[in-house]
Amino acid sequence: MELESLLPRVTKPARYTNGEWNAAHKDPAGVRARFALVYPDAYEVGMSHLGLQVLYHVLNSHPDYLAERAFAPWPDMEQQLRARGLTLTSLESRTPLRDFDAIGITLPYELTYSNVLNILDLAGIPVRAADRGADDPLVIGGGPGAVNPEPMADFFDAILIGEGEEAILEIAEAAAEDDRDAALARLGEIPGVYVPASYEASFAGAGPLGSVTPRNGAPAHIVRRIITDLDQAPFPTHQIVPFLDTVHSRVTLEIMRGCARGCRFCQAGATCRPRRERSVATLLRQAEEAVAATGYDEISLLAFTSVDHREIEELAAELVARFGSRGIGIALPSMRVDAFSVSLANTIQQVRKSGLTFAPEAATPRLRSVIGKPMTEDELFAAADAAFSSGWARFKLYFMIGLPTETDEDVAAIADLVQRLVAFGRGALGSRAGRLRIAVSIGAFVPKPHTPFQWVGQDSRDSLNHKQHILQRGLRGRAIKLSWTDADVSALEAAISRGDRRLGRAIEGAWRLGATFDAWGEHVDFSRWERAFREADLHLEDYANRTLGVNDSLAWDHISCGPEKDALRAEAEQALGRGEA
């Protein structure tokens, strides 16, 4: 085949070769609807996304449906495809994506949106839904980015709000319709499915002010779909094993969904409520099946905060007892800042110690109170003490800058806190102090829809750069490794996050100027986006930096996927009141 002839010309050809262990191969003649599940990033990123594997498992477990995968081709492969006039195909059968009944595209993160358009274009599918005809597949979106679907509304026929495994078979039944218009009408009848063409967007000035109103009997609000019983939810124990290293080359075991902590900046915590857990018995069965089916030597316990699972100690003890002697490690990727977390990690990681990661987010009690982060400095030092005493000399800390009400003093306090941790660590480690390494990652606050801070404008890029310079001066030393998010990239994320339907013009414009892989530092070109905003007659700052009124009508108010707006408003007013004290 012609694709094989391209593989010597591209990096990481295993991204495109298929044949991985546990990949599904079904006869298309025996199914009623065929899905291409697309992740708009490189293969190694998409194959680490559990949601993709869940939907793949659900569809391929049903006799009437088939699912195959596709990912964003790396720029070198895109160049080869375009030079030869080839279209993008699925991995499993090399079927052109335009020949599927439906294309399901995950929206994981705002900076992948240009890749969505590039994938559709490479597949020979019109990028705008209004330009598609009877022979084009349905293009259906979903995932974390769908909680504000408006910036991408013009490019999708339908967008699922909520948890995919709850609705995917209903969507598949609609996709099985022979007539495209009938399929769209049926999709619009499914709870949680948003059909943008059935809604009129209006605007009330600059920025995301305005409303989206239904037409032709469409529901006024789209209410997210949610799995109520996680124990009964489908789960892929036969996870696909890639031929190359991915971001997470291990069994992923989702132990809990949702979060009860209520950090005011966190969109995932707000939109995935309530907290739901899988039982120990279910998790042990899934772990045994997954290890047997994949051969991985590590199990990662996936949750917003794994140690918040109410039976985590029992689960940890059982996993260690069953898998430790087989050389299979257990990883806790998300942890609270307390000594219990370290103690649990010490118990569970007897085979091999992975890193410890804590997220204080802010360094002063006042600012932590503003953002709703329940952590004290004493808890952080107690956790560090437990870590040093248990043999850890390396860990990672996450902080944010640009938080609502933040001052330069709050920023400088980050450097002071880290330097005191370094001094504390050197004393605790004694003769091993030379091994001490603290990685400090600095992100910029991004206002997200459906959170109490959705109305707060992001700091200007000049302000974010100023605060980064404070930290660069204060966080020096051999034991400290500092990294930070580019202020331009953070501004772009904020603008798209709070975008309305007009923002699709800027996204399409940036893509036509060559924007792809904007989540990758070596590929993003902010000047393209600046030009695209200008040509779309929009201002990035109106979306990223503008502070909105708590009573304003917002572009995403028709999407119900978290706390009610009145509850968010009350949280915002309480938080900002604390900040002014």
Q: Under a CB-based contact definition with an 8 Å cutoff, are residues 31 and 66 in contact?
A: yes
Amino acid at 388: F
Query: What is the structure's pLDDT at 248?
Result: 81
Report the range of poorest mean pLDDT among 215-229, 333-347, 353-367.
333-347
- pLDDT above 80 (res 355): no
Query: What is the structure's pLDDT at 339?
Result: 62
Measured over all CA atoms, what is the biggest interatomic distance in the chain, rounded to whole angstroms? 74
Query: What is the structure's pLDDT at 189?
Result: 97
pLDDT tens-digit readout, 183-229: 999 999 999 999 999 999 999 989 999 999 999 899 999 999 999 99
Buried b (16+ CB within 10 A) or exposed e, 492-516: bbbbbbbbbbbbbbbbbbbbeeebb
Helical H runs in 324-401? 339-348, 365-371, 377-389
Give CA–CA dist 421/470, Å, rounded: 18
> How high is the mean pLDDT of the chain?
93
Query: What is the structure's pLDDT at 338?
Result: 73
Give CA–CA dist 442/445, Å, rounded: 10
Buried b (16+ CB within 10 A) or exposed e, 195-210: bbbbbebeeeeebbbb
- pLDDT above 90 (res 333): no
- pLDDT above 70 (res 354): no
- pLDDT above 70 (res 580): no
Determine the number of helices (DSSP H) and then strands (DSSP E) in the chain.
Answer: 20, 19
Give CA–CA dist 232/177, Å, rounded: 29
Homologous superfamily (CATH) of 2-223 is Cobalamin-binding domain (3.40.50.280)
pLDDT tens-digit readout, 20-52: 999 999 999 999 999 999 999 999 999 999 999
Can you name the residues that pair with 36 across neighbouring β-strands?
A: 68, 103
Write down the residue that tokens 């120990």 correspond to: 280
% helix, strand, coil for the chain, step of 5: 45, 15, 40
Query: What is the structure's pLDDT at 352?
Result: 63
Structure tokens of 77?
A: 């492969």
| Contact partners, residue 114, CB within 8 Å, separation at least 6 | 507, 510, 511, 515, 516, 517, 518
- pLDDT above 50 (res 579): no
pLDDT tens-digit readout, 232-268: 999 999 999 999 888 888 999 999 999 878 899 999 8
pLDDT tens-digit readout, 44-74: 999 999 999 999 999 999 999 999 999 999 9
Query: What is the structure's pLDDT at 532?
Result: 98
Q: Which letter does DSSP use for residue 546 in this model? A: P
Provide mean pLDDT across the span 141-165: 97
The segment(s) of the chain belonging to CATH 3.30.750.210 are: 252-332
Buried b (16+ CB within 10 A) or exposed e, 109-134: bbbbbbbbbbbbbbbebebebeebee
Q: Alpha carbon of 394 to those of 53, 333, 440, 441: distances in Å? A: 32, 15, 11, 14
Percentage of the chain lying above the pLDDT 90 cut: 82
Provide mean pLDDT across the span 433-451: 95
* Helix or strand run (H / E) with residue 422: helix 408-429
pLDDT tens-digit readout, 540-565: 999 999 999 999 999 999 999 988 99
Give CA–CA dist 380/438, Å, rounded: 13
Q: Which residue has the higher pLDDT, 79 or 581?
A: 79
Structure tokens of 399?
A: 């902080």
Give CA–CA dist 262/270, Å, rounded: 7
Q: Which CATH architecture has domain 252-332?
A: 2-Layer Sandwich (3.30)
Closest CA to 96 of 11, 36, 169, 31: 36
Closest CA to 361 of 371, 347, 349, 351: 371
* Helix or strand run (H / E) with residue 257: strand 256-257
Structure tokens of 482?
A: 């500092």
The segment(s) of the chain belonging to CATH 3.40.50.280 are: 2-223
pLDDT tens-digit readout, 470-515: 999 999 999 999 999 999 999 999 999 999 999 999 999 999 999 9
- pLDDT above 60 (res 95): yes
Q: Which residue has the higher pLDDT, 313 or 261?
A: 313
Give CA–CA dist 527/525, Å, rounded: 5
